[in-house]
């Protein structure tokens, strides 16, 4: 588990966006996607459709493992009951993907059907590992603001005792990308180091950790 998670690409609110995973696949062999909008069947279909890759193995974790890790927990505070109107799809899929061009080129994708903050705590914090990058891209409505550097997701990721991600990705589409992603939004990051785009996001900005953040991340072993 730790080898799967350490230095991985963490993408909360990913929905079915595999284009961003492909964009970073040259640097990150392992990705963790989290969203509560898809069913397990939809997520599996999405994983099987990643362009340029074929599924070599796809496992669904047993409910007992999910419960043990705490991945099905709902961390939103009392009064935030809007999600109670929808089914809580607590599932975890793990896919091993092989490049169509090179059979030795493998990628690992973990898809968590649940809440991003609960998933980060259960996977990264409890296993004493840190992702190499986190993507805070244009996302759907939720109970907390992912882009807010003082809100709960940022606090969970940046407060991880073993280190923080070396890279932060922000971005969006249309007016959102033009008006709201010109700064990293989270403290401890500067740049941007690079810009990119996907068919989902007109702009994807890559921000690097400032020295104090990068130092703590290196100390974590990445």
pLDDT exceeding 70 applies to what percent of the chain? 79
pTM of the predicted protein model: 0.85
The stretch 132-154 carries a mean pLDDT of 81
Query: Is the alpha carbon torsion for 128, 130, 131, 136 positive or negative?
Result: positive
Name which residue leads in pLDDT, 197 or 207.
207
Asked whether residue 212 carries a pLDDT value surpassing 80, the answer given is: no
Buried b (16+ CB within 10 A) or exposed e, 69-86: bebbbbbbeeeeeeeeee
Show me where the domains of the chain are located. 2-219
Fold of 2-219: Rossmann fold (3.40.50)
**Residues 6 or more apart whose Cβ sits within 8 Å of residue 66:** 72, 90, 91, 92
Asked whether residue 195 carries a pLDDT value surpassing 90, the answer given is: no
The stretch 93-114 carries a mean pLDDT of 88
What's the pLDDT tens digit per position in 35-64? 888 889 999 999 998 888 889 999 999 988
Residue 126, phi-psi category: left (phi > 0), alpha (psi -120 to 50), beta (remainder):
alpha
Asked whether residue 135 carries a pLDDT value surpassing 50, the answer given is: yes
């Amino acid at each position: 588990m730790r080898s799967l998670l350490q230095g991985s690409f963490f993408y909360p609110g990913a929905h079915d966006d595999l284009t961003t995973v492909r964009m970073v696949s040259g640097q990150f062999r392992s990705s963790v996607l989290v969203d509560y909008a898809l069913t397990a069947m939809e997520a599996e279909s999405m994983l099987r459709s990643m362009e340029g890759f074929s599924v070599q193995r796809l496992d669904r974790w047993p409910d007992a493992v999910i419960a043990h890790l705490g991945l099905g927990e709902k961390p939103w505070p009392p009064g935030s009951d809007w999600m109670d109107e929808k089914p809580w799809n607590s599932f975890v899929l793990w896919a091993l993907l092989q490049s169509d061009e090179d059979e030795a080129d493998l990628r690992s994708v973990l898809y968590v059907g649940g809440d991003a903050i609960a998933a980060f705590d259960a996977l990264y914090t409890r296993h004493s590992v840190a992702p190499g990058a986190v993507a805070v891209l244009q996302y759907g409505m939720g109970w907390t603001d992912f882009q807010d550097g003082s809100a709960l997701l940022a606090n969970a990721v940046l407060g991880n005792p073993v280190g923080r991600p070396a890279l932060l990705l922000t971005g969006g589409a249309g007016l959102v990308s033009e008006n709201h992603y010109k700064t990293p939004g989270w403290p401890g990051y500067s740049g941007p180091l690079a810009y990119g785009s996907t068919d989902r996001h007109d702009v994807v900005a890559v921000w690097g950790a400032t020295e104090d953040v990068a130092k703590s991340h290196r100390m974590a072993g990445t």
